[in-house]
Amino acid sequence: MSTSKAPESQPVARPYKVYKRRFWGLAQLVLLNIVVSWDWLTFSSISTTAAEYFGVSESAINWMSTGYLFAFCAVSPCVIWVLNKGGPKPAIITTATLLLVGNWLRYAGTRASSGIFGLAMFGQILIGFAQPFCLCAPTRYSDLWFSDRGRTSATAVASLANPLGAALGQLIDSEWATKPADIPNMVLYISIISTVASLPSFFLPAAPPTPPSASSAIPRTPLIAASRQLLTTVEFWLILIPFSVYVGFFNSVSSLLNQILSPHGFSETEAGIAGAILIVAGLVTAAVTSPLTDRFKHYLCSIRVLVPIVAATYIGLIFAPPSPAGLAPSYVVMALLGASSFALLPIVLEYLVEITYPFSPEFGSTICWTGGQLLGACFILIQDALKADTDADPPFNMRNALIFSAAVAVVAAPFPLSLGLFGRVVKRRRLEADRVVELQAPDTEAQPDTSAGSNAGICQLDSATPLDTSNPKIL
């Protein structure tokens, strides 16, 4: 191939490569998301024990989770700016720094005589500031480092590490803190784990030497213009509303699971097992569905199948805890909720990037995650207020709170089911950008990149590629 510079209007040859080093950054995102989610539920998973240690009510312990979620919302505009201007690495470093400071402040608050609840809460809020920087980074990271053959799987692995951390917290914390005096040591162990997990963040590469695909190389719409256009796009709202609702209820159920089950005679350990089942079933399902989505790109079909299942599980959650069959129905509902929710999450995030391309991925995903965290905080407060009093049967049951969650989940279901209907054609725009370049170079064969240990190819990108990059709405 000639090395002379082609005219500006002619196709320009470019190498597109994926590098093995991309997995180091992905592994670090996984670690950070595990730790930051574990930190979130540190006290909620043992709410009764923590309340006794600090000398406060269980509602005050709920604020450890609620404040964490509100902290996420407060810092989200900064997250969008950091990811847009600097990419994933500055976001990862920010996460690591806040995790280190927040965890050791929490430990200081618990180690003090009788515990200093305010100091522990301050550390928890700092960790809440850390979460969006790593939770909103996966779509940006997979777009920067992965081709269309691995983006959904990469997003799934990094995003679903967050609920995996929640499962670990539900399961392990209840074993580490069986009585109030165990609280300081539990927080110490978590702080050490967080420190070890955070340190590699400072040594990651910022970006690959060459783009992984044509869509990654195309300049993205500027942030201000993207914000205006995105917020006027119907399809974005059809995703944002149900995403926020279902993430919000997942957060509230995870935080209140012990309080949902304990009125019916179940222990904190059994509630921890239920939370672990929720996560493990979801991870196993996502491990199967994400590679299939990478291969077949069946985003919309998967959304239409999974959303009704998610809504139905919230209905089932009303009847499972009081069932005369014991814990088994609750475990089954948790497994179904986890499987459907976890399979749906990366598919929706990647589909949002596809239909809003050429907007940078972090904008839509951060808004969606912020909506989920905001509603999660609101749902925790609402469901806590709906808890029954001492005269109920059984006392302090959360039946009304679960009816509320089921009703809202059902109302949210028609929004994503309306995608692509009523005469609106929704296209996978990022995938089309990659396919256009492949068609322009049909005889090009991928060559192995032995120096980087990756697959490489030479594709041509026409500066006049016939893609409408000015508006994400396809009518």
Please answer whether residues 361 and 302 qualify as being in contact, where contact means their C-beta atoms are separated by less than 8 angstroms: no
Residue 457 bridge partners (DSSP): 16
Could you give phi then psi for residue 456, rounded to 5 degrees?
Answer: -140, 160
Q: What is the mean pLDDT of residues 254-259?
A: 83
- The string of pLDDT tens digits covering residues 270-327 is 887 888 888 889 889 988 988 888 788 888 889 999 999 999 999 999 999 999 888 8
Q: What is the mean pLDDT of residues 451-467?
A: 35
- The string of pLDDT tens digits covering residues 159-216 is 888 878 877 877 788 788 888 888 999 999 999 999 999 999 999 888 888 888 777 7
**Amino acid at site 118:** G
Instruction: State percent of the chain over pLDDT 70.
Output: 88
Determine the Cα–Cα distance for residues 216 and 126; give it in Å rounded to an integer: 33
Q: What is the mean pLDDT of residues 9-26?
A: 70
Burial of 455 (0-12, 13-18, 19+ CB in 10 A): middle
Determine the Cα–Cα distance for residues 466 and 460; give it in Å rounded to an integer: 14
pLDDT score for 456: 37
**Amino acid at site 276:** A
> Domains in the chain and their CATH numbers?
17-461 (1.20.1250.20)
14 pLDDT band (50/70/90 cuts)? Answer: low
| Omega before 358 within 30 of 0, i.e. cis | yes
Single out the residue of 294, 17, 31, 291 nearest to residue 144, CA to CA.
Answer: 17
pLDDT score for 47: 79
**pLDDT greater than 80 at residue 440:** no
Burial of 211 (0-12, 13-18, 19+ CB in 10 A): buried
pLDDT score for 466: 37
Single out the residue of 326, 135, 175, 336 nearest to residue 253, CA to CA.
Answer: 336
Determine the Cα–Cα distance for residues 229 and 215; give it in Å rounded to an integer: 19
Q: What is the mean pLDDT of residues 149-167?
A: 83
**pLDDT greater than 50 at residue 457:** no
Burial of 260 (0-12, 13-18, 19+ CB in 10 A): buried
Please answer whether residues 26 and 471 qualify as being in contact, where contact means their C-beta atoms are separated by less than 8 angstroms: no
Average of per-residue pLDDT values in the chain: 82
Looking at the chain, the number of H-run helices and the number of E-run strands are: 18, 3
**pLDDT greater than 50 at residue 57:** yes
Residue 461 bridge partners (DSSP): 12
Single out the residue of 156, 143, 146 nearest to residue 23, CA to CA.
Answer: 146
Determine the Cα–Cα distance for residues 268 and 273; give it in Å rounded to an integer: 9
Q: What is the mean pLDDT of residues 397-419?
A: 94
- The string of pLDDT tens digits covering residues 213-224 is 777 777 777 777
441: tokens are 């170079």
**Amino acid at site 438:** E
3-class DSSP assignment, residue 176: helix
**pLDDT greater than 90 at residue 242:** yes
Q: What is the mean pLDDT of residues 449-464?
A: 35
107 pLDDT band (50/70/90 cuts)? Answer: very high
Single out the residue of 305, 300, 294, 152 nearest to residue 238, CA to CA.
Answer: 300
